[in-house]
Copies of this chain bind each other. A is one copy, B any other.
Amino acid sequence: MHLEVLNIGTELLLGNVTNTHLSYLGRRLFSIGLRIERQMTLPDGSALRPAFLEAMDRCDVLIVTGGLGPTTDDITREIAAELLGLPLQENAEVIKSLEALLARRGIPLRDRMRRQAMVPVGARVLPNANGTAPGLYLPASQTPSLATPHLFFLPGPPRELMPMFEDHVLPILHALCAQIQGPECRTYHVVGMGESSVEEIIGLSLSLRGDVEVGYCARPNEVDLRLIAEAAVLDAIEPDVRAALGTCLVSQQEENLEEVVVNRLRTLGRTLTVAESCTGGLLAHRLTNVPGASEVFPVGYVTYANAMKTQALGVPEELIVTHGAVSEPVALAMAEGALRTAGTDFALAITGLAGPSGGSPEKPVGTVFIAMADRKATTLCQRENFPTDRETFKQLATQSALDLLRRRIFDLQP
User: Measured between alpha carbons, how far is A236 from B37 in the docked complex, in Å?
Assistant: 46
A336 interface residue, CB < 8 Å from B? no
**Known: A72-B199, A72-B214, A218-B69. Contact between A40 and B39, CB under 8 A?**
yes
Give the residue name and chain of the B residue nearest to A302 (CB): B300
CA distance A329 to B75 in the complex (A): 48
The reply on A30 being an interface residue by CB < 8 A is yes
Nearest chain-B residue to A395 (Cβ)? B159
The answer to whether B289 and A294 have CB atoms under 8 Å apart is no
Q: Point out the residues of chain B lying under 8 angstroms from A9, CB to CB.
A: 217
Interchain CA distance A159-B396 in the complex, whole Å: 12
List chain B residues, Cβ under 8 A from A226.
10-11, 14, 16
In A210-232, the 8 Å CB interface with B consists of 214-220, 224, 226
* Contact with A304, one of B38, B44, B300 (Cβ below 8 angstroms): B300
A280 at interface by CB-CB < 8 Å: yes
Set of chain B residues within 8 Å of A204, measured between Cβ atoms: 72
B356→A196 contact, CB < 8 A? no
> Within 8 Å of chain B (Cβ to Cβ): is A177?
no
Interface pair A215/B70, CB less than 8 Å apart: no
How far does the alpha carbon of A282 sit from the alpha carbon of B41 in the complex, in Å? 30
Is the CB of A51 closer than 8 A to any CB of chain B? yes
Does A263 belong to the interface (CB within 8 Å)? no
Q: Which of A80-88, A305-313, A316-324 is near enough to bind chain B?
A: A305-313
B300 adjacent to A11 (CB under 8 Å) = no
Whether A374 sits at the interface, judged by CB under 8 Å, is no
A410 at the interface (CB under 8 A from B): no
A43-B37, A195-B70 are contacts. A285–B282 as well, Cβ < 8 Å? Answer: yes
Contacts A70-B195, A281-B284, A289-B394 known; list 9 others, CB within 8 Å. A11-B215, A11-B224, A12-B26, A16-B23, A107-B196, A158-B392, A281-B282, A299-B301, A299-B311
A interface residues with partner B (beta carbon < 8 Å)? 9-20, 22-28, 30, 35-44, 47, 51, 69-73, 107, 110, 112-113, 130, 156-159, 162, 185, 187, 194-196, 199-200, 203-204, 207, 214-220, 224, 226, 274, 276, 279-285, 287-289, 291, 293-294, 297-305, 307-308, 311-312, 341-342, 354-357, 388-392, 394
A-B contact pairs, 26 of them (CB 8 A): A10-B215, A11-B226, A12-B22, A12-B23, A13-B35, A14-B27, A14-B35, A16-B226, A17-B23, A17-B224, A35-B43, A38-B40, A39-B41, A156-B218, A279-B288, A280-B287, A284-B302, A288-B394, A289-B394, A291-B357, A299-B302, A299-B312, A300-B301, A300-B302, A301-B301, A302-B302
